[in-house]
């Protein structure tokens, strides 16, 4: 009998005992220390370290309620699926995901590689650090994981089996609500709108029926387009980086969905990084982010087409013109989901520190207005946004438009604070 035969939520001292009892990672007499280092909205993440040698591993456990809200409950099964997907990703995208050492289905806990020589990308970007290999490596990760799990190159029966295996209704519902409903229709009253932009958000999001229609289409694409096994939450808090390497983790939202959802998460989160850099006048950093946005879109398209040509695609997918048409559809989805991510992180329940850490009220209001304007533009014009340059221009045009509006408001009304 072991106290770990029945599920309970571990504390730091329990994790040390667990690791001693259940894994051979450390020598039996090692002096171990443990610290909870989780930064996400859902799970508990512990670093266990041998204090003498510095060797360490990560223990990740799912709680019954979420960290972000005790009212939100989810099955702890999600961690089993995540461990399974990390192993699948390790096969198709070797070196781009952490290694999973073990999964314990009773404790809903995985033991995995500690990416100690890496930083969480969001925090590194908030310090205006740049990562020269990021665009290349993240596009390799996306092309490898998305193309290889799609009907384009898979046996269609095997692919359907994976669709069933990776059904993820609870986590998908979070996205359907938080990303694809609430930013334009706060039907559960959970949005967090920054008070100075309340009137702006009301007019631009809640009262714009044309926008609602397009977000509804994107929601139903997300619900119905079982295209690839997507990561499902590929923001910069799900990525570790250093100057050489990129590592993607936390695929608990994975399911068969539209490829563009992953790519759009990456592009939108680079835009949040730009917003932080622009606010603090980090010009070289912003120039790198701009270049990276262009490269992410264009490298994805180039590598996707090249890998498609190298593989043995479906016989009908080889029809002349099909690949260009298909890549265009992915980019349309990418633009749409870039837009929904920009909106949901601005007014939704789960926001991003790149923006929420901006203390100056007027500066934060400016950024929120930019992201709402850009988000709408990506959604409404998504069929015309096909190249990296067009992605960047759509964003920068929204910046210019907002700055122009703020300037003219200021001239008309010089004493009023420029929030709305």
Binding site for ligand SR1 (CB under 6 A): 40-42, 66, 68, 72, 174-175, 178, 233, 350
**Residue placing its CB nearer to ligand SR1 in the complex, 178 or 218:** 178
Q: Report what 178 binds from ligand SR1, Mg ion, none; CB cut-off 5-8 Å by kind.
A: ligand SR1
63 binds Mg ion (CB under 5 A): no
Between CA 362 and CA 356 the distance in angstroms is 12
Binding mask 208-247 for Mg ion (x = CB under 5 A): ----------------------------------------
CB 165 within 8 A of CB 322: no
DSSP SS3 for 58: strand
350 binds, among Mg ion, ligand SR1, none (CB under 5 to 8 A by kind): ligand SR1
- Indicate if the alpha-carbon torsion angle 110, 115, 121, 125 is positive or negative: positive
Name the region of 128 (left: φ>0; alpha: ψ -120 to 50; beta: rest): left
Using left for φ > 0, alpha for ψ between -120 and 50, and beta otherwise, residue 108 falls in left
Interacting span for Mg ion (CB under 5 A) from 99-107, 108-116, 250-258, 308-316: 250-258
Q: Which does 242 bind (CB under 5 to 8 A by kind): Mg ion, ligand SR1, none?
A: none
From residue 390, give the alpha-carbon distance in Å to each of 43, 138, 279, 294, 383: 37, 20, 23, 8, 11
Establish if 98 lies at the interface with Mg ion (CB under 5 A).
Answer: no
Q: Which does 406 bind (CB under 5 to 8 A by kind): Mg ion, ligand SR1, none?
A: none
Please give the C-alpha separations between residue 108 and each of 17, 131, 271, in angstroms, as whole numbers.
Answer: 16, 34, 35
Identify the CA nearest to 355 among candidates 167, 125, 141.
Answer: 125
Q: Which long-range contacts (CB under 8 A, 24 or more apart) does 192-196 make?
A: 192/347, 192/348, 192/349, 192/351, 193/347, 194/364, 194/365, 194/368, 195/419, 196/361, 196/362, 196/364, 196/365, 196/417, 196/419, 196/420
Q: Which is nearer to ligand SR1, 40 or 339 (CB)?
A: 40
Helix (H) or strand (E) holding 160: helix 156-165
Q: Which is nearer to ligand SR1, 19 or 174 (CB)?
A: 174
Half-sphere exposure of 129 (CA within 13 A, CB side): 17
Is residue 128 within 8 Å of residue 273, measured between CB atoms?
Answer: no
Residues that bind Mg ion (rule: CB under 5 A) add up to a total of 2
Write out the two tokens for 294.
């262009």
In the complex with Mg ion, the residue whose CB is nearer, 169 or 321, is 169
Tell whether residue 250 is a contact of Mg ion (CB under 5 A). Answer: yes
Q: Which does 125 bind (CB under 5 to 8 A by kind): Mg ion, ligand SR1, none?
A: none
Choose one: 40-48, 344-352, 358-366, 403-411; the region binding Mg ion (CB under 5 A): 40-48
In angstroms, give the least distance from the CB of 345 to ligand SR1: 9
Determine if residue 313 is left, alpha or beta; phi over 0 gives left, psi from -120 to 50 gives alpha, anything else beta: beta
| Residue 163 binds: one of ligand SR1, Mg ion, none (C-beta under 5 to 8 A by kind) | none
Residue 341 is a binding residue for Mg ion (CB under 5 A): no
Our measurement of the distance from residue 124's CA atom to the centroid of its chain's CA atoms, rounded to an integer in Å, reads: 16
Give whichever of 311 and 351 is closer to ligand SR1, judged by the CB atom.
Answer: 351
Q: Which range in 9-17, 38-46, 299-307, 311-319 contacts Mg ion by CB under 5 A?
A: 38-46
- Residue 72: name its binding partner from ligand SR1, Mg ion, none (Cβ under 5 to 8 Å by kind): ligand SR1
Q: Nearest distance from residue 241's CB to ligand SR1, in Å?
A: 18
Sign of CA dihedral 408, 394, 268, 373: positive
Cα(414)–Cα(258) distance, integer angstroms:
47
Q: Which is nearer to ligand SR1, 190 or 305 (CB)?
A: 190
Min dist. Cβ of residue 170 to Mg ion (A):
14
Residue 344: CB minimum distance to ligand SR1, A: 8
Answer for the pair 164, 81: CB distance below 8 angstroms, yes or no: no
Q: Which residue's CB is nearer to ligand SR1, number 119 or number 329?
A: 119
Question: Does 40 help bind Mg ion (rule: CB under 5 A)?
Answer: yes
Site stretch for Mg ion (CB under 5 A), options 35-43, 97-105, 155-163, 191-199: 35-43
**Binding partner of residue 286 among Mg ion, ligand SR1, none, CB cut-off 5 to 8 Å per kind:** none
258 binds Mg ion (CB under 5 A): no
Residues that bind Mg ion (CB under 5 A): 40, 250
């Amino acid at each position: 009998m072991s106290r770990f035969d029945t599920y309970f939520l571990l504390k730091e001292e329990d994790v040390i005992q667990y690791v001693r009892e259940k894994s051979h990672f450390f020598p039996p007499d090692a002096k171990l220390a443990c610290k909870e280092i989780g930064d996400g909205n859902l799970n508990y993440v512990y670093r266990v370290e041998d204090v003498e040698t510095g060797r360490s591993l990560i223990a990740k456990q799912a709680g019954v309620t979420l960290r972000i809200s005790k009212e939100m409950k989810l099955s702890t099964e999600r961690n089993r699926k995540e461990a399974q997907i990390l192993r699948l990703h390790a096969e198709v995208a070797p070196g781009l995901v952490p290694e999973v050492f073990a999964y314990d289905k009773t404790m809903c806990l995985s033991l995995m590689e500690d990416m100690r020589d890496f930083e969480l990308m969001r925090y590194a970007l908030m310090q205006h650090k740049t990562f020269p290999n990021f665009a290349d490596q993240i596009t390799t990760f996306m092309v490898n994981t998305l193309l290889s799990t799609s009907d384009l190159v898979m046996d269609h029966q095997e692919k359907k089996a994976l669709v069933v295996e990776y059904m993820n209704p609870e986590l998908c519902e979070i996205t359907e609500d938080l990303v694809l409903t609430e930013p334009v229709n706060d039907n559960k009253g959970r949005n967090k709108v920054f008070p100075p932009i309340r009137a702006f958000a009301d007019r631009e999001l809640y009262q714009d029926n044309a926008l609602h229609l397009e977000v509804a289409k994107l929601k139903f694409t997300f619900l119905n387009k079982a295209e690839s096994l997507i990561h499902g939450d590929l923001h910069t808090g799900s990525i570790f980086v250093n100057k050489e390497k990129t590592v993607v983790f936390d695929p608990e939202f994975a399911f068969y969905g539209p490829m563009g959802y992953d790519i759009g998460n990456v592009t939108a989160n680079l835009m949040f990084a730009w917003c932080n850099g622009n606010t603090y006048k980090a010009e070289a950093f912003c120039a790198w982010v701009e270049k990276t946005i262009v490269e992410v879109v264009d490298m994805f398209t180039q590598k996707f087409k090249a890998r498609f040509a190298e593989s043995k695609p479906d016989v009908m997918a080889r029809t002349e013109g099909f690949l260009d048409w298909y890549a265009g559809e992915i980019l349309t989805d990418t633009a749409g989901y870039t837009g929904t991510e920009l909106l949901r992180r601005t007014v939704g329940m789960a926001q991003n520190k790149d923006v929420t850490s901006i203390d100056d009220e007027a500066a934060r209001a400016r950024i929120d207005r930019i992201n709402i304007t850009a988000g709408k533009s990506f959604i409404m014009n998504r069929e015309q946004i096909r190249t990296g340059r067009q992605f960047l221009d759509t964003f920068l045009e929204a910046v210019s438009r907002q700055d122009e509006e703020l300037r003219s408001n200021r001239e008309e009304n010089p004493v009023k604070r420029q929030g709305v």
